[in-house]
């Protein structure tokens, strides 16, 4: 599919504005420009500029961008590196040093300025054999001259703003006292990106263990890799979901540039990855009404769009956004993170998706997740301590992105990985944006450092507190229990250089980069350091946990249940006192959306028990497959609830456990020569092992270098029926490729499969 017409229309308004302002600026210049292209025997006429985009792309590590291979050629360069280009003059004339004027203007934005670093002016003398200026300046050297051409290399400043630059070439004669110049507007776009391979760039990824060679390998993963994984699911059953980032697609870079224009960052600020990454978190979502890429939805109703679980990568989302000029429906945290990773990598910013299992959403900045119960132990639906009326919540998992950059705006030691989040949860400085928050600052509890360190810290290390109403307390509630270990069970990302299409050997646990070991002195000191920076949080932590508890309750955790199998909610009770205790207990099981919101009640039971002195008993609530099958929602998340009160002591206990019902998979078989340009026969197979008919069935598949994202509708699938899809693909490039498939239906989603395909030349 050719997107050139769409791209040109997409940016026409911006381009017209830019060109109009440039014309105004040129009219104010101190030198005059020949306004009519009159034939001249004296002043050189530029016939064409050749950027040799493909040749330069090899050195700039941009050769995989599809724009580089389009016609007309589009140059994609990284700042801090030189590129080679040729100017050809008309009428067979050549550039003569000392006689001819040759001046190059590299411009960014509507009002290019040398002072603001959005313009570079280079006067070609003809004898520049080597670069002579510092890396943060534009520089030029002449490589060679022929009868009607001149070959030059230009050094792009290492701190040049990223964006679409344009070249203006001025020619004239040194003998012309009026210095009249002829202007040639080069029609080619010049994309300038961040350069994490350049030591002087603020996004440079230095060696973590083995020096520069190690860094280079990591950049293969965090910048160049166009397929990866995003971990999803409940703690104990989370798995890596394959995701096609597709940063090289011909729609991606232009859309990235549009986002930077739409968020109205001054062009000179686009040199700063802190500013750029923060703006991208705002523009990947559309919660502020600024026409961002994705619209979020978590309620399970997606009839007017695409279910988040049906996406297989970012490319189709970006293409749909390009075609419609409207936010794409729908996304959730992991989709927002996938798209944000795509745009970061496309712009040269090292990035990786990060999944926090059991993620806290602290709505009032107390570093606690608070649940409230009335005097009888019944849960309350509101938070009496939150003036806004919002309640804290715990998500089964939440995904954000880490981007790598230096942080010269912070004290030394807080550079490296920075958390950035495009999911619209809470406003930051008036907008739905989050980060970059230094991961090291999160680990040390330094919440005073920008941006949004406190919110990320609460997400991974908040305490979970249960409060029970008490008329004798000065605040109306007493602390019934405190769980310091529930939040941030694991923080996962993909291990570099490993891609496991069958298992989870490519999982990397990075929990210790966000917090020290749970319960350690270092972990508590970090949290209390953060608490000490907030008057509101200090008030919450002032009230100690009650100690007069003599009945021990324990909810037995489940990790995963294969779909169709039964299970039980089990609670053990142990009376450590020498008196009998009257226990009022409630057990229930619900299906839940992954952000913690209840979807359906599956089973519920309440009873009163007499627990004898020093006795131990077990409460059990059985749940059959018939109870839950018709009530499951996306991702198959279920929640077990257990609560109890002790009549004699007013002890209150509450605990929850999340687990995941495991879905079947899509099988993929690839047959053929597996060579570039030769057809492959691919067969996708899914067997409906569920005991129900599946309706509104869809299959999506994609693989960079093999096929674009392809969505297909299929008839209803009866219980036990097999769906077989056969298609032919023609590989475009040699190397190792990943092919990803996702089956989606009204009843069940998140049924996926993947396979590696090695293509030879």
Phi-psi category of residue 13: left, alpha or beta, with phi > 0 → left and psi -120 to 50 → alpha? alpha
Report residue 255: phi and psi, to 5°: -65, -40
Q: Tell me if 518 is assigned to a ligand binding site.
A: yes
Question: Strand locations in 186-274, DSSP E?
Answer: 190-193, 227-232, 239-244
Which residues have a Cβ under 8 Å from the Cβ of 705 and sit 6 or more positions away? 731, 732, 733, 735, 737, 759
Q: What is the 3-state secondary structure (H, E, C) of 599-618?
A: EEEEEEEEEEEEECCCCEEE
Question: What is the layout of strands, in order, in the sheet containing 722-729?
Answer: 667-672, 680-687, 722-729
Q: Tell me if 584 is assigned to a ligand binding site.
A: no
Contact in structure between 365 and 212 (CB atoms under 8 Å): no
- Going from the C-alpha of 401 to that of each of 156, 293, 313, the distances in angstroms are 28, 16, 15
| Cis-peptide, bond into residue 330, ω within 30° of zero | yes
CA–CA gap between residue 87 and residue 100 (Å, rounded): 14
Nearest to 66 by CA among 7, 152, 11: 7
CA–CA gap between residue 74 and residue 226 (Å, rounded): 20
Q: Tell me if 681 is assigned to a ligand binding site.
A: no
Catalytic residue chosen out of the listed positions 421, 452, 658, 744: 421
Widest distance between CA atoms in the chain? 112
Q: Provide the β-strand partners of residue 526.
A: none
Q: Provide the β-strand partners of residue 350.
A: none
CA–CA gap between residue 407 and residue 430 (Å, rounded): 23
Using alpha carbons only, how large is the chain's radius of gyration in Å? 30
CA–CA gap between residue 484 and residue 731 (Å, rounded): 52
| Cis-peptide, bond into residue 72, ω within 30° of zero | yes
Query: Strand pairing of 163-173 and 190-193?
Result: antiparallel
Contact in structure between 184 and 46 (CB atoms under 8 Å): yes
**3-state DSSP assignment of residue 215:** helix
Contact in structure between 433 and 488 (CB atoms under 8 Å): no
Catalytic residue chosen out of the listed positions 263, 333, 434, 742: 333
CA–CA gap between residue 4 and residue 587 (Å, rounded): 59
Catalytic annotation on 333?
yes
**3-state DSSP assignment of residue 361:** strand
Q: How many other CB atoms sit within 10 Å of the CB of residue 355?
A: 27
Nearest to 606 by CA among 570, 644, 648, 555: 644
Catalytic annotation on 398?
yes
Q: How many other CB atoms sit within 10 Å of the CB of residue 573?
A: 21
Catalytic annotation on 201?
no
Rounded to 10 degrees, the C-alpha dihedral 454/456/457/461 comes to 140
Report residue 490: phi and psi, to 5°: -150, 145
Contact in structure between 754 and 738 (CB atoms under 8 Å): yes
Q: Tell me if 461 is assigned to a ligand binding site.
A: yes
DSSP 405-428: E--TTS-TT--EEEEE--S-SS-B
- Going from the C-alpha of 360 to that of each of 367, 391, 415, 635, the distances in angstroms are 9, 11, 25, 19
Catalytic residue chosen out of the listed positions 361, 398, 451, 641: 398
* Binding-site annotation: residue ranges: 461, 463, 518, 523
Annotated binding site for Ca(2+): 461, 463, 518, 523
Which sequence positions are flagged as catalytic?
333, 398, 421
């Amino acid at each position: 599919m050719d997107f050139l017409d769409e791209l040109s229309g997409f940016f026409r308004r911006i381009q017209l504005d830019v060109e109009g302002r440039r014309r105004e600026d040129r009219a104010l210049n101190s030198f005059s420009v020949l306004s009519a292209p009159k034939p001249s025997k004296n002043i050189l006429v530029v016939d064409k500029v050749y950027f040799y985009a493909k040749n330069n792309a090899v050195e700039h590590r941009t050769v995989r961008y599809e724009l580089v291979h389009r016609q007309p050629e589009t140059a994609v360069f990284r700042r801090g590196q030189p590129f080679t280009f040729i100017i050809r003059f008309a009428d067979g004339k050549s550039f003569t040093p000392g006689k001819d004027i040759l001046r190059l203007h590299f411009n960014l934005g509507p009002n290019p300025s040398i002072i603001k670093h959005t313009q570079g002016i280079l006067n070609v003398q003809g004898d520049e054999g080597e670069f002579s200026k510092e890396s943060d300046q534009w520089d030029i050297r002449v490589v060679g001259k022929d009868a009607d051409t001149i070959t030059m290399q230009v050094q792009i400043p290492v701190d040049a703003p990223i964006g679409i630059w344009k070249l203006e070439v001025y020619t004239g004669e040194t003998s012309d006292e009026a210095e009249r110049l002829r202007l040639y507007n080069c029609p080619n776009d010049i994309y300038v990106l961040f350069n994490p391979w350049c030591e002087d760039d603020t996004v440079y990824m230095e060696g973590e263990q083995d020096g520069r060679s190690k860094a280079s390998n990591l950049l293969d993963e965090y910048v160049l890799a166009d397929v990866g994984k995003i971990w999803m699911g409940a703690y104990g059953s989370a798995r890596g979901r394959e995701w096609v980032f597709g940063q090289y697609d011909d729609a991606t870079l232009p859309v990235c540039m549009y986002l930077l224009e739409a968020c109205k960052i001054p062009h000179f600020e686009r040199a700063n990855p802190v500013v750029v990454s923060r703006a991208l978190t705002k523009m990947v979502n559309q919660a502020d009404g600024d026409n961002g890429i994705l619209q979020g939805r978590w309620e399970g109703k997606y009839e007017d769009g695409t279910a988040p679980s049906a996406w297989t990568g970012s490319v189709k989302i970006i293409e749909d956004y390009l075609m419609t000029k409207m936010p794409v429906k729908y996304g959730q945290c992991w989709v927002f993170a996938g798209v944000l990773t795509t745009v970061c990598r496309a712009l040269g910013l090292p990035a990786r998706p990060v999944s926090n299992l059991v993620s806290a959403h602290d709505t009032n900045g107390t570093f606690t997740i608070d649940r409230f119960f009335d005097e009888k132990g019944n849960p309350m639906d509101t938070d009496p301590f939150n003036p806004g009326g919002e309640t804290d919540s715990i998500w089964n998992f939440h995904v954000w992105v880490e981007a790598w950059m230096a942080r010269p705006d912070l004290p030394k030691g807080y550079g490296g990985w920075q958390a950035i989040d495009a999911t619209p949860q809470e406003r930051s400085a008036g907008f739905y944006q989050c980060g970059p928050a230094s991961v090291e600052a999160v680990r040390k509890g330094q919440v005073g450092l920008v941006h949004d360190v406190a919110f990320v810290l609460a997400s991974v290390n908040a305490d979970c507190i249960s409060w029970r109403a008490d008329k004798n307390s000065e605040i109306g509630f007493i602390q019934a229990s405190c769980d310091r270990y529930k939040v941030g069970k694991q923080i996962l990302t993909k291990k570099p250089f490993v891609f496991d299409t069958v298992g989870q050997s490519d999982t990397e646990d990075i929990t210790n980069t966000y917090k020290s070991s749970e319960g350690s002195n270092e972990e508590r000191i970090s949290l209390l350091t953060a608490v000490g920076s907030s008057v509101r949080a200090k008030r919450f932590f002032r009230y100690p946990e009650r100690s007069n508890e003599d009945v021990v309750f324990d909810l037995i955790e489940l990790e995963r249940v294969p779909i169709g199998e039964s299970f039980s909610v089990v609670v053990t009770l142990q009376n450590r006192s020498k008196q009998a205790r009257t226990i009022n207990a409630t057990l229930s099981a619900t299906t839940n959306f992954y952000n913690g919101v209840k979807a359906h009640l599956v089973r519920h039971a309440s009873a009163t028990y007499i627990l004898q002195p020093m006795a131990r008993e077990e409460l059990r609530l059985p749940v059959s497959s018939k109870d839950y099958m018709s009530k499951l929602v996306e991702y198959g998340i279920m929640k077990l609830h257990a609560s109890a009160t002790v009549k004699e002591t007013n002890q209150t206990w509450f605990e929850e456990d999340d687990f995941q019902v495991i879905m079947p998979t899509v099988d993929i078989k690839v047959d053929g020569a597996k060579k570039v340009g030769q057809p492959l026969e691919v067969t996708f197979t899914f067997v409906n092992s569920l005991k129900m008919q599946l309706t509104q069935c869809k299959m999506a598949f994609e693989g960079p270098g093999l096929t674009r994202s392809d969505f297909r509708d299929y008839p209803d699938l009866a219980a036990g029926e097999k769906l077989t899809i056969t298609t032919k693909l023609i590989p475009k490039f040699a190397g190792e490729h990943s092919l990803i498939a996702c089956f989606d239906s009204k009843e069940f989603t998140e049924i996926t499969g993947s396979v590696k395909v090695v293509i030879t030349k």
